[in-house]
Structure 1
Amino acid sequence: MLRITELKLPLDHADEALRPAIVQRLGIADADLLDFTLFKRSYDARKKNSELQFIYTLDLNVRDEAALLAKFADDRNVGPAPDVSYKVVGHAPEGLTERPVVVGFGPCGIFAGLLLAQMGFRPIVLERGKEVRQRTKDTWGLWRKSVLNPESNVQFGEGGAGTFSDGKLYSQIKDPLHHGRKVLHEFVKAGAPEEILYVSKPHIGTFRLTGMVETMRQEIEALGGEIRFEHKVTDLLIDGEQLHGVVLENGEQIASRHVVMALGHSARDTFRMLHARGVFMEAKPFSIGFRIEHPQGLIDQARLGKYAGHPKLGAADYKLVHHAKNGRSVYSFCMCPGGTVVAATSEPGRVVTNGMSQYSRNERNANSGIVVGITPEVDYPGGPLAGIELQEQLESKAYLLGGSNYQAPAQLVGDFIANTPSTALGEVEPSYKPGVSLGDLALSLPDFAIEAIREALPAFDKQIRGFARADAILTGIETRTSSPLRITRGADYQSLNMKGLFPAGEGAGYAGGILSAGVDGIRIAEAVARSMLGLD
């Protein structure tokens, strides 16, 4: 198979124009192009006055591949296509009685369970929250009625935190074995649009994700796996440094010498249990800040110019970074075009924000986290749980500032920069539900974070005109950007001091987003399979 990269066509080209463009590029007869597959499609909007073009990467089957490879030997944009197909580690032997346990059914746990099921290991998946349909009702209960269910919300339940997000499916992780392609193919099989296989920044959106995770659950069950909802793990069964199983909140014990801990970054009680049981973990950096909202049209115009609103491009996004004078880095995080800011707490008496979009991305506002990086050495010394304690303190303060009713504290950008409490909204309407309480966000975060964000917003305005417009909305607070700790694992993917415990995903500090969590789920499933098959 041959691969062509950097093949450019006008933005409004007809679908049938791709084949003749390939034929012309290679200088072959149409009959010699047997078939082709679209691997990637992107565009570059950085040059404001240039004509936008789609840029394609395509994989081809041709009649005389060897001759074409020789012809284009010096052309870096034509060459052999890499093999991105998934290679299974092995299959469970007949009669195997031990079943691996997967704790958590977010993206990492889903893919760990799915791959183990596909290899015949019949995993038992334990999820503290509810199945996705009931979980969605509980989540809307907080957004619409200010009623929080601590075990069924944005953070906990089938699909994990990624279910209530923009559904982004791209990452900057190193992926030499192309596990990301396996993730995308499984999503398409479960109902995602095929375009996620080739668009440069694929996304799905919440409504589609809910149906997809149900389909993937059904496949795990059809292959002999088992998913148990409302089954919270509260302890470990340990003999020396060997894990033998887990204990549930109801007292039930499940024996297994292979337990995947695919925790989300909000499983604070489970982190504390693991720490109390002596599992090695260490504090890691994370970020804190706010959500910012602008009219989506402002972002479209700034990023796409005359192409703003083009149906083939959709809602525009952005990625911004500023290095402040006080040494802090401020950056945009989890940008959601045409989306909403959502209440994302999982604990009573605390306020946390996140961003969410549907597949259409057609809500009136764009939103993004504007966050400041913090480190354990400087900002929260005191051991592996110190970051959790800082998050809890800040989220409790935000709850009080919002009025102690799950409303979020908010402030207009112009007032925030001028250090003046806000008393009235402008044209930009905040999307956060249950609602916002205007005031002074400087009270919600440490002084160094406020100082850095105040400096960053006008700097970002130089890149996106209107970013620091006076009536844009800041909503507080964003604290769960990533896990504040890492449950460190070795080369065999097991805990450094607890054999049989396989820390995985975002909560363990090894992923950040749906795609990277799914990839880590595949890696961890392979590690479990190798261990159970004696391949280590």
Structure 2
Amino acid sequence: VASMLPPEAFTVVRKSFDARKLQKEPKFVYTVDMDVRKLLSLEPRTWEFISELDQKAGFIEFLHHESISGDLMSTIRNHRKIDDTASAREVHSNHVTGGYKFPATRRPKVVVVGSGPSGLFASLVLAEVGAEVTLIERGQAVEQRGRDIGALVVRRMLQLESNFCFGEGGAGTWSDGKLVTRIGRNNSSVLTVLKTLVHFGAPCSILVDGKPHLGTDRLVPLLRNFRRYLQELGVTIRFGTRVDDLVVKGEHIVGVKISDSRDQSEACCQKLGCDAVVLAVGHSARDTYHMLLSHNVDVVRKDFAVGLRIEHPQELINSIQYSGLASEVQSGRGKVPVADYQVAEYVNLRDVDTLSKSDSTSRSCYSFCMCPGGQVVLTSTDPSELCINGMSFSRRSSRWANAALVVTVSSKDFDALNLSGPLAGVEFQRTFERKAALMGGGNFVVPVQTATDFLENRLSVTSVPSSSYRLGVKATNLHKLFPVRITEALQHAILMFDKELPGFISNNALLHGVE
């Protein structure tokens, strides 16, 4: 039958590498869309083959005929054509019947704050539908931002408003560039976003890869293209500009107060009038949260997760995941992708021998932002605080693999430190970021401990395995960092992860704080 099937009737929609231990032989798995109408038109003899196909979830699924989604720009323009046609008919009808004709109005002025993915796509949509958009970013464009990050990594010079967190593209620009979603890769909205990224320079492979990934080296030129397109649409982009306050008249926002982000005193504030504001700020814009509270905005604290970042030699992770195929990885140049992992454990400390008497005995512990072939980087925005993250380039060719191992925390944990109010979680974060900075000895040096020592609550050696973190590490006992209930959850989870990934606990596994 295969020889009768014309390739024009098939489209590969997903490609992933399956190396599960139950498989006799690791292999690539493809998900393919078959256009039945096209297939029959090209080869009528295939009808018997098609008629015998039985639907089976996960293997063969019948899909309703749907229009193929394009990128965001073409999607908006297609809808505008439909709307324009409908409007023309309505105008003609009103003219014939003498109905009311709406007067033309000016373009609405919208300020978008933040140039991460949310801010960029909000600006794109608003500009495409005709709004007058001003995009404000406290950080710098990727060209200057790259130089500022270079000065940080080489000379320890932290620019408070242009760093791994702030700047064009948001915190994700100098991160791993994963394109993950929890609403389904086949969702039309997801495909529209991915096709938009391809339009601006992302490789077409992200449309089919099971775990699509860009990498910082691809994100930088993509963001340049995105910026140029927005400017061609008439979007005004102001880098190095911070929004300090909202201008409120009655119960309506009528503008924003802005200043040069290098001016920490906010002495030279300007007003920028607008009809609406889109706040697309990231998690690091803590001053924005305080500003919203000052306007009595309903801010609700939420649960999140904290922990450490663990780093292994990438060859070890390749060996754990691929066994005999590990040599085929070839530092991201081979046919077999660089190995990654994802682990999770629900920890009930009542079932574990612990020192803690806390009521918070049940927690989730899981890996997050796993960066194969990556490096650990600094994400601090304050020199007195220390926070880290992982990143990688498109080829994922470094000698290390890293991932966050985090534990869920809630209001009970905030209350235990006498932290209250809507921003208690933010103060909780800052408490441990300051503590990590002190444990590292300052100057952005990161406190570290081998996984084996962490499990035994000891510091057996002061010489630790090499780390990808370029600003220096210091051996210390990370049990002194978090409250005991968080530390115990991490210990128990790491033991469980080693059962799932034998070899995960190793003298070469190095824990970094704080994530």
Find the aligned partners of 1:70 and 1:207 in 2 and give their Cα distance.
Answer: 45
> What's the counterpart of residue 108 of structure 1?
118
Deviation for aligned residue 1:363? 0.5
Q: Give the 3 Å change call, closer, same or farther, for CA 377–451 of structure 1 in structure 2.
A: closer
Matches within 5 A, 1:179-194: 179-194=189-204
Cα deviation, residue 174, structure 1: 5.9
Computing the radius of gyration over CA atoms, which structure comes out larger, 1 or 2?
2
With over 3 angstroms needed to count, the CA separation of the structure-2 counterparts of 1:58 and 1:175, relative to structure 1, is: closer
Partner of 2:377 in structure 1?
342
SS of equivalent residue, structure 1 residue 379: helix
Matched residue, 1:205: 215
- 2:233 matched residue in structure 1: 223
2:62 is paired with a residue whose SS is strand
Q: Deviations over 1:298-349 (max 9, x none)?
A: 1111112222234222211111112222312211110000100001101121
Residue 97 of structure 2 is aligned to residue 79 of structure 1: no
Alignment partners' CA distance in 2, 1:432 and 1:320: 23
- What is the aligned-residue RMSD (CA, Å)? 2.3
Contact preservation (8 Å) 2:231, 2:237: yes
| Kept in 2: contact 1:151–1:157 (CA 8 A) | yes
Partner amino acid, structure 2, of 1:365: W
Of residues 436, 454, 473 in structure 1, which corresponds to 2:510? 473
Give 1:470 shift: 2.3
Contact 1:196 1:203 in 2 (8 A): yes
Q: Find the partner of 1:313 among 336, 358, 363.
A: 336
Give the deviation of 1:208 after TM superposition.
1.0
Letter paired with 1:334:
C
**2:283 corresponds to which residue?**
265
In structure 1, how many angstroms separate the alpha carbons of the residues matched to 2:421 and 2:15? 45
Q: Answer yes or no: is 1:390 the counterpart of 2:422.
A: no
Given the alignment, which residue of 431, 443, 448 partners 2:468? 431
Residue 370 of structure 1: aligned partner: 405
1:299 paired with 2:317, answer: yes
The SS at the match of 1:328 is strand
* Amino acid aligned to 2:31: T
Residue 294 (structure 2) aligned to one of 241, 254, 276: 276
Partner of 2:250: 240
Q: Following the alignment from structure 2 to structure 1, what is the Cα–Cα distance between the partners of residues 21 and 455?
A: 30
Aligned pairs for 1:118-133 (under 5 A) are 118-133=128-143
- Shift of residue 83, structure 1, vs aligned partner: 3.9
Mapped to 2, the partners of 1:320 and 1:68 lie a distance apart of 45
Structure 2 residue matching 1:477: 3-state secondary structure? coil
CA distance in 2 between counterparts of 1:291 and 1:34 reads: 46
CA contact under 8 A between 2:108 and 2:132: conserved in structure 1?
Answer: no
Closer, same or farther: CA 47–296 of 1 in aligned 2, 3 Å: same
After superposing the two structures, state which structure 1 stretch, 153-162 or 92-101, moved more: 92-101
Deviations 1:256-303 (A, max 9, x none): 222110010100011110111111110111111111011111111111
3-state SS of the aligned residue for 2:290?
A: helix
Supply the distance in 2 between the matched residues of 1:113 and 1:215 (Cα, whole angstroms).
14
Q: Does residue 29 of structure 1 match 2:4?
A: yes
For residue 205 of structure 1, report the CA deviation from its aligned partner. 0.5
Deviation, structure 1 residue 72: 5.2
What displacement does 1:254 show? Answer: 1.7
Contact 1:40–1:197 (CA<8 Å) still a contact in 2?
yes
Residues 177, 254 of structure 1: CA spacing in aligned structure 2 closer, same or farther, 3 A cutoff? farther
**Count of matched residue pairs:** 451
State yes or no: 1:359 paired with 2:388: no
Q: Secondary structure of the equivalent of 2:466?
A: coil
Q: From the superposition, tell whether residues 398 and 329 of structure 1 become closer, same or farther in structure 2 (CA, over 3 Å).
A: same
Query: Post-superposition shift, 1:95?
Result: 5.9
1:457 equivalent in structure 2? 494
1:79 maps to a residue whose letter is F
Q: 1:84 to 1:332 in 2, by over 3 A?
A: farther
Contact 1:69 1:78 in 2 (8 A): no
Instruction: State the distance in 2 between where 1:84 and 1:282 align.
Output: 40
Tell me the amino acid that sits aligned with residue 75 of structure 1. Q
Structure 1: tracts of 5 or more residues without a match:
1-22, 479-536
Q: 1:239 to 1:68 in 2, by over 3 A?
A: farther
Bigger helix fraction: 2
SS in 2 for 1:282: coil
Contact 1:34/1:60 (8 A) holds in 2: no
User: In structure 1, what is the Cα distance between the partners aligned to 2:180 and 2:21?
Assistant: 23
Distance 2:391 2:235 in 1: 31
- Return the offset for 1:154: 0.6
The SS at the match of 2:401 is strand
**Deviation, structure 1 residue 43:** 3.0
Kindly tell me: are residues 229 and 422 of structure 1, through their superposed partners in 2, closer, same or farther at Cα, counting changes over 3 Å? farther
Question: Counterpart of 1:280 in structure 2: which amino acid?
Answer: D
Q: Which amino acid aligns with 1:356?
A: M
Contact kept, 8 Å, 1:103 with 1:259, in 2: the verdict is yes
Change over 3 Å in CA distance of 1:177–1:239 after alignment to 2: farther
1:244–1:257: 8 Å Cα contact kept in structure 2? yes
The separation in 1 between residues aligned to 2:68 and 2:307, in whole angstroms, is 38
Structure 2 contact 248–254 (Cα < 8 Å) conserved? yes
Name the counterpart of 1:16.
none
Structure 1 CA distance for aligned equivalents of residues 49 and 69 of structure 2: 22
* C-alpha spacing 1:112/1:437, structure 2 compared with 1 (3 Å): same
